[in-house]
Amino acid sequence: MSKARVLGGVVFGAIAAIGIAAYAAGTQETHPSELFKQYCAKCHGEDGTAQTTKGRQLKARNFTDAEWQADKTDADLVKTVTEGKDDMPPFGKKLSPEQIESLVKNDVRGFAPRK
């Protein structure tokens, strides 16, 4: 095999690897999302533990609690975010159904302990 072919293969491989890495970095979402930080973090905290002043005062849910995560369905959580529950205000008029679903699936579920 000629040196030119080997060098061409190496260059192509390097360019492909850089492209894949750049694509992957650009598609990763940050956790928690800006939406969570804006609407939820005041009570639930950016770490999901609800150890903020407001969170402790209102006894906000700790999203890192594995037992609680296992006990709630996504539908339960969507309903709670949409309609409110106990001291939690409803967000159904402030956020779209897509935003609420994203908060539940990406943010709230993102705090679940890894097994």
pLDDT at 30: 87
Among 86, 66, 77, smallest CA distance to 104 is for: 77
For 79-100, what is the mean pLDDT? 97
CATH 1.10.260.40 fits 31-111, yes or no: no
| Domain ranges within the chain, ordered by starting residue | 1-29, 31-111
pLDDT at 12: 54
Query: What angle (nearest 5°) sits at the alpha carbon of residue 62, between those of residues 60 and 65?
Result: 150
Give the tokens for residue 16: 């492909």
Query: What angle (nearest 5°) sits at the alpha carbon of residue 64, between those of residues 63 and 65?
Result: 90
pLDDT in tens, 21-67: 444 444 446 899 999 999 999 999 999 999 999 999 999 999 999 99
* Cα distances (Å, whole numbers) of residue 113 to 14, 18, 47, 48, 62: 36, 32, 12, 11, 12
